[in-house]
Amino acid sequence: MFALISADGIKSPSCPLPSTPTKDKPKEKPKSSLKKCSSTFEVDLNRIYGGQDANPMEFPHQVSLQVRFLDSHICGGTLIDQQWVLTAAHCFSRGRYPFSWQVKVGEHNLKEKDETERTLRVKRVIVHEQYNRTNQVNDIALIQLLEPIDLEKEKHLKTVCLADKNVVVREEYYCMASGWGRGNKGRIVTEVLQKLKQPIHNSTECAKIWEKSVWPVTENHICIGDLQGSKGICNGDSGGPIQCRLRTGEWVQFGIASWTIRDCISKGYAAVFTGVSGYLDWIDKQMETYG
């Protein structure tokens, strides 16, 4: 009944809301290893299964995770730092050996050579130590690139902001999913990056949607979808983002595509995403540990 959505089968800093001043001197927090992120990228609001072509570099943080030498797209991901990519743990069912993988940044059309695209080597794959492949709990992973990207030189690339723990999931947020996953023409992947406006549901609502599921929905999950069964994410979209525009106008990533119904879309169901806000400390710890 359920299926992972890989093709084969913001913390930067996290754009926190302003804090309330206090009389007492606040304790100094550990310095984040994450660099500046971009919450102001231009999304075409007038324009994935049932999705539409994204404009070139409309999502400058989006990456394609590929099998090296084959240039075969497996999963999506997001650039969260000049040397780090956020994706889903189940994308590495083939193995975690860095030499087997490559990351394409600045990608738009998988079948054509884009002027903005660049293929990067992988130094390290870090899957969450409590990831459970039998029920997809803690479906989150990090990729450390072999060399950092010079974001000052490659200004078309940007790092995404991750949703802070204090940012509440609200249904009125304008949210966009993006990826190269299977579309309504039946291809394994789509050639051009797709985008799709989707409603977002918090963990409580998500648990109700999937109350009969054998895979648990936890407080670290969110759901994406309109429940009408007409549009949604599919094979190849795994690891990709759901990004939402906050009331402040900032865009942040709320989740990582994890799993959905086997046929990708079905009335009454919504895709399950790993909520990033519950993993900010884990992300920061890995980046501080491995530099």
Question: Tens digit of pLDDT for each residue in 113-167?
Answer: 999 999 999 999 999 999 998 999 999 999 999 999 999 999 999 999 999 988 8
- 137 plus 220 within the same structural domain: no
Question: In terms of pLDDT, which residue wins out, 244 or 17?
Answer: 244
pLDDT digits (tens, 9 = 90+) for 27-52: 333 334 455 686 655 655 444 556 79
- 136 plus 226 within the same structural domain: no
The rounded distance, in Å, linking the Cα atoms of 49 and 54 is 13
Residue 195 domain-assigned (yes or no) = yes
Overall number of domains in the chain? 2
Question: What average pLDDT does the segment 3-24 reach?
Answer: 42
Residue 54 domain-assigned (yes or no) = no
Residue 269 domain-assigned (yes or no) = yes
- 145 plus 286 within the same structural domain: yes
- 104 plus 69 within the same structural domain: yes
Listing DSSP states for 274-288 in one string gives EEGGGGHHHHHHHHH
pLDDT at 1: 53
- 262 plus 170 within the same structural domain: yes
Q: For position 90, which CATH number holds?
A: 2.40.10.10
Q: Are strands 62-67 and 189-197 parallel, antiparallel or unpaired?
A: unpaired
What are the DSSP E strand ranges found in 128-285?
Answer: 141-145, 174-181, 189-197, 200-201, 221-224, 241-245, 251-261, 271-275
pTM score, whole prediction: 0.86
Question: What 3-state DSSP class applies to 29?
Answer: coil
Ranking 76-85, 160-169, 258-267 by mean pLDDT, the lowest is 258-267
Please determine, for residue 2, whether its predicted confidence score (pLDDT) is greater than 60: no
pLDDT at 26: 38
pLDDT at 232: 76
- 131 plus 168 within the same structural domain: no
pLDDT at 80: 98
The rounded distance, in Å, linking the Cα atoms of 139 and 5 is 12
- 167 plus 265 within the same structural domain: yes
- 153 plus 171 within the same structural domain: no
Question: What average pLDDT does the segment 187-199 reach?
Answer: 88
pLDDT digits (tens, 9 = 90+) for 199-240: 999 999 999 999 988 889 999 999 998 887 767 778 789 999
Q: Mean pLDDT score of the chain, rounded to an integer? A: 84
Residue 151 domain-assigned (yes or no) = yes
- 225 plus 176 within the same structural domain: yes
pLDDT digits (tens, 9 = 90+) for 85-106: 999 999 999 899 999 999 999 9
- 200 plus 228 within the same structural domain: yes
Q: What are the catalytic residues? A: 90, 139, 238
Structural domain for 220, as ranges: 160-277
- 177 plus 114 within the same structural domain: no
